[in-house]
Amino acid sequence: MLYSEKVMDHFQNPRNVGKMDDADGIGEIGNAKCGDIMKMYIKVKDNVITDVKFNTFGCGSAIATSSMATEMIKGKTIEEALTLSNKAVVEALDGLPANKIHCSVLAEQAVKAAVKDYYDKHGIAYDQEALCTGDCEVCGHDHG
């Protein structure tokens, strides 16, 4: 399995790793099939994500996609962060093997979950569909 140089770089030197005790929003997403768990912390000031940290328990691709996703949302507005797609993360990493694409989906979901937590903590109304991660426990609405 061949990984791009960017994937290897973000795996070996992940950006924004750590815990944030005073986070404004925390999103935790797990994938039972592969055992990957991502926890993302965001700090928000004036609707801008001023800081972001992550802890990921998982494979190299999970760590690389978490790292890249944090780099891509740092300094962006909440709305911009919500438009981050797993496809954009994969492209920024110069591709991922097909069997590792789900890691990028987890990264996108972790961002959405952290934003949802921020909205919930601050009583901010939001469109549930926009924050739907495909995990009904997160978005709280019925897909059936």
Q: Which residues are catalytic?
A: 34, 103
List, in order, residues 6 or more apart from 138 with CB less than 8 Å away: 27, 29, 109, 112, 113, 116, 131, 132
Q: 103 and 65 in contact (C-beta within 8 Å)?
A: yes
Cα gap 40→56, rounded to integer Å = 8
Q: 135 and 109 in contact (C-beta within 8 Å)?
A: yes
DSSP class per residue in 27-63:
EEEEETTTTEEEEEEEEEETTEEEEEEEEEES-HHHH
Q: Which of 89, 42, 35, 38 shows the shortest CA–CA distance to 65?
A: 89
Helix (H) or strand (E) holding 120: helix 101-121
